[in-house]
Amino acid sequence: MSKAEDLTKVKSCPTHFVLAINDTLNVLIGKWKLPIIGSLLFGKKRFRELEREIPRITPRMLSKELKDLEINGIVKRTVHDTIPVTVEYELTESGRSLNSVLDAMIEWGLDHRKMSIAPEKAA
Amino acid sequence: MSKAEDLTKVKSCPTHFVLAINDTLNVLIGKWKLPIIGSLLFGKKRFRELEREIPRITPRMLSKELKDLEINGIVKRTVHDTIPVTVEYELTESGRSLNSVLDAMIEWGLDHRKMSIAPEKAA
DNA sequence: TATAGTGCTATACTAAAGTATAGTGGTTAC
DNA sequence: GTAACCACTATACTTTAGTATAGCACTATA
């Protein structure tokens, strides 16, 4: 029995799985999380590099989202005391392990596009 | 090679996988989508049943989210011309197949809670 | 006639997410 | 000395998501 089938046991055990799903959603939700994670899958990046690689992101949003991702243990921030300081961002083990989730999402997304007439009408 | 590793090919092929992930995120995002899907995993439900089963949801949000889910091919709406009319909502095949995605999310979420000190600080 | 149930919609509001623009405090190159 | 790069932060704004409250058109029951 799959864990999602277990979700049908939500009445007897709601918090456990629902919270786990929400944790996962929270690290992916937001306009810029995916582009940032995608960019960091290439390896360590500095602030300005990310800014350049992600079109139209503002420094405010990049800073905010990186902080979120850091708090959530997805991204590791390293300050090198060069002059001027350089800061590097990289995915943690947790961050890299999101791969399996993204895989499942890609698979569902592609299958669903095949089936659905108008998936692009999504809000 | 996993599809998410393929995501590192984002520079050469950005739209394909990124759009698939966004499709998947879009059907799950929002305060009420998961409770609704969770409730419909038990089987067909009527509007008022969903209203009763999902604490604190307003009819406005339930109506709106069900419409979203219907447009996205996750939920099927059936009107029976009884008097007064009864309306039934159920998951489509696409909706039920979200199981695999939810499974991956549960797994990552649980693992991540083990590792992370303060995942509940997520926005 | 009144109350409650069916499946919603309308209007108006608050809160959260995201954008635009400017500026900080430092260093290095011209 | 002035322009540009580094890694941001501050302030103010717009846009989107969600809430609160009321009501519609219908029927069945007391």
Domain boundary assignment for chain A:
31-115
Tokens of A49: 């590099």
pLDDT digits (tens, 9 = 90+) for A41-73: 999 999 999 999 999 999 999 999 999 999 999
Q: For residue A119, give the nearest of B25, B72, B104 by CB distance.
A: B72
pLDDT tens sequence across A69-79: 999 999 999 99
Return the pLDDT at B10: 45
CA gap B7, B25 in Å, rounded: 16
Q: Is A46 helix (H, G, I), strand (E, B) or coil?
A: strand
Helical residues (DSSP H) of B54-98, grouped into ranges: 59-71, 93-96
d(CA B29, CA A101): 15
Question: For residue B39, which residues of chain A lie inside 8 Å, CB to CB?
Answer: 10
Instruction: Reply yes or no on domain A31-115 having CATH 1.10.1380.10.
Output: no
Where does B31-121 sit in CATH, by number?
1.10.10.10
Most B CBs within 10 Å, among A27, A103, A120, A121, to test the B interface: A103
Q: How many Å apart are CA B82 and CA A89, to the nearest integer?
A: 60
**B79 CA – D30 C1', rounded, Å:** 29
Q: What pLDDT is attached to residue B120? A: 43
Q: Which long-range contacts (CB under 8 A, 24 or more apart) does B40-43 make?
A: B40/B75, B40/B89, B40/B90, B40/B91, B40/B95, B41/A4, B41/A5, B41/A7, B41/A8, B41/A10, B41/B91, B41/B96, B42/A8, B43/B90
SS3 A8: helix
pLDDT in tens, B82-122: 888 999 999 999 999 999 999 999 999 999 987 765 444 44
What are the pLDDT digits (tens) for B34-51? 999 999 999 999 999 999
What ipTM, to 2 d.p.? 0.85
Q: Do B38 and A10 touch (CB under 8 A)?
A: yes
